[in-house]
Amino acid sequence: MRLFYLLFLLMAPGLSLYAQNSPGLRNVIVDSSSYVPVDKYRALGVSYTTTRDEALSPLVFQGPGVTFSASSWKYNRNWLLQPAFTGRLHLLKNASGSSVYNEAAFKYQYTALRELLSLQHGNWRFWAGPEAGMLLNMRLHSRNTNNIASYDWAGFLGASAMVSNRFSLWGRTFAVSNQLHIPLFFLYARPPFAWAVPPAIFEEAEGAWKEVFQVGTLNNIMSLSNQVNLDFYLRKRKKGKLVQYRAFRLTYNWNYFAVGTGNPLKTGGHALSFSRVITF
Amino acid sequence: MKKILFYFSFLFLLCNTGCEQILIEDDPENKAVDNFNLLWNTVDEKYSFFIYKNIDWDSVYSVYRPRVENGMPQQELFGVMAEMLNVLEDGHVNLSSSFNVSRNWNWYLNYPQNFNYVLLERNYLQDDFEITGPFRNKIIGKVGYIYYGSFVSGFTDGQMNYLIQKFKDCKGIIIDIRDNGGGRIDLIARLTSYFVKEEHLAGYVRYKDGPGHDEFTSFYPQKVEPAGKTFSQPVAVLTNRSVYSAANAFASFMASLPDAVLIGDRTGGGGGAPYSGELMNGWRFRFSTTQMVNVNKEQIENGVAVDIEQNLLPADEARGVDSILERALEYFKEK
């Protein structure tokens, strides 16, 4: 079943290219040729994470949490600029339920997408561009001795691609966008093989910082994030008169991060969040 | 087709569920054999004293693995695992279940206790000693006496400065750490800092750096900076076989000082700091992943030798005399 899911995921971008659109759709994502205000999103939602962090435990821990984010989309000529900050808090438990640990995950990234292709009067758009950012995950396993805390810090450079579509349904206008983020180069830090803190710092050794940070690429560190947004309007009426449109965004995010060296880490999860578009 | 697209979007959402579970392997099954293998493998990769203790961990697997069968009673499985871990002869190695905790306490059980707190309190401390933070203290025969029972208990600069001031006219300081089983690692250098006058190299530590039994980091020097105020007198540290872990390291630090002596019995050891893990059945375990050594890079896992050997003699104990404390007092009279 899991293989089916993986194959379907790989097919999804290709399948979406064959979707059809009817004429006369109102463009929820405004034409990039004209200057528009920055669209700001403040989202709150729920998430679920699966983690194996061998710095804390050889076992898999899973659990729910809350997610919050602050991001914006700014159109600048042919570019779409996307600064975004995301935070998640989780309570994870192992399969036997015998122990739990807390996890806090934070990520900031700045993505610059350039429109590469526009089809069907802008109803379909394809974007790609570079991105940079950093992430910080911290975990606390209070039942351990000495290896109580674990962390992942990474600064990264990578690429992102997005396909967006607008359409009308039931008399309303919607926009769907699917964006994939793939960091390619990392500067990262993880707990050492058998201790919670890089001993070089702990022992105040000279040149300690050189032992703390490592350079990584996809052969030893991997990060993937896929985000699907559904934008829609709700009409606000007062005394039967239409007074305001309010725009909202429903976002589903899947993310995965893995480090293969030292104390190996694999963590991935899902988040569903909801935000009101503050300016549109 | 619009509806197909709309429904497709939600189907796409669904297809994203469970993806990371393809990439993150499941835990081994919660069966006796899998739990045994996880314990053996984790210790194999991270335990720090195989070479020093000349332990063939592969042969240990050959001996104990045949005794494990899926479906065996939990107590029996615990017994096999505990017996296997006991081969390490390490007080920092424990397996904890809801019904028992495995341990190796031979490092003090096989030796005389050499400490009687009731005797100490009734005949030496009596009713006029002070309790300054974790330190029970008193001036005994012009010597400042401090008993520190556990490195789990922290202390403040204010408390130490009080003792320094209180004992400033004493000819010597006795710091008694008998029966101190250890505690916080950060307090080792901190307590030593009140006995050094300048930056002092007190020992070294190294950490497991990879899964091979000989994969370690380099030795990191452990230097102690003097505290704001320090004791000016010579110091005697009283030890017995129950001095373990952080207390053992403190004894090693103090042994490196030129004006400090260790009196009593050799310490119990415990030169590795423990690191935790857990099994699928909820049992937890810990074991040593580091090596602390003295200033000469000699291992302290099996204890720190004393400068003046002295046991608590049964005849002395019977008449209420602490032979080890008396030897320390005599040491300062001779100086």
SS (H, E, C) A214-270: EEECCCCEEEEEEEEEEEEEEEEEECCEEEEEEEEEEEEEEEEEEECCCCCEEEEEE
Task: Quote the CA–CA distance of A79 and A38 in Å, as a whole number.
Answer: 13
A62-107 residue pLDDT tens: 999 999 999 999 987 778 999 999 999 999 999 888 899 999 999 9
The answer to whether residues B289 and B272 touch, using CB atoms and an 8 Å cutoff, is yes
Q: What is the pLDDT of residue A203?
A: 62
Distance CA B265, CA B313 (A): 12
Q: Is residue A216 scored above 90 in pLDDT? A: no
Q: Which of residues 51-70 of A touch B (CB under 8 A)?
A: 51-52, 57-60
Among B295, B294, B246, B250, which Cα is nearest to B270's? B246
Q: Which residues of chain B have a pLDDT value below 50?
A: 14
pLDDT at A180: 95
pLDDT at A167: 85
**In this complex, do B42 and A58 lie within 8 Å of one another by their Cβ atoms?**
yes
pLDDT at A228: 94
B30 contacts A194? CB cut-off 8 A? no
Contact B24 A52 (CB under 8 A): yes
Q: What is the rounded distance in angstroms from the CA atom of residue B243 to the CA atom of residue A278?
A: 64
pLDDT for res A76: 79
Q: ipTM, 2 decimals?
A: 0.80
Q: Does A221 touch chain B (CB under 8 A)?
A: no
Asked if A212 and A205 count as a contact pair (C-beta separation under 8 A), the reply is no
- Classify each residue of B152-190 as buried b or exposed e, where b means 16 or more C-beta atoms within 10 Å of its C-beta: eeebeeeebebbbebbeebebbbbbbbbbbbbebebbbb
Strand, helix or coil at A76? strand
Residue A1 pLDDT class (50, 70, 90 cuts): very low
Strand locations in B66-171, DSSP E?
94-96, 130-132, 135-140, 143-148
Per-residue pLDDT, A23: 24
Q: A3 and B22: CB-CB below 8 Å?
A: yes
Give B23's contacts in chain A (Cβ within 8 Å): 256, 258, 266, 268
Q: How many CB atoms lie within 10 A of CB A15?
A: 12
Instruction: Count Cβ–Cβ pairs < 8 Å, chain A vs chain B.
Output: 163
Tokens found for residue A278: 């503050």
Q: Which residues of B touch A19 (CB under 8 A)?
A: 1, 4-5, 8
Cβ within 8 Å, pair A192-B207: yes
| Mean of pLDDT values over A179-187 | 94
pTM of this prediction exceeds 0.90: no
Give the pLDDT score at A207: 62
Identify the residue with better confidence: A278 or A20: A278
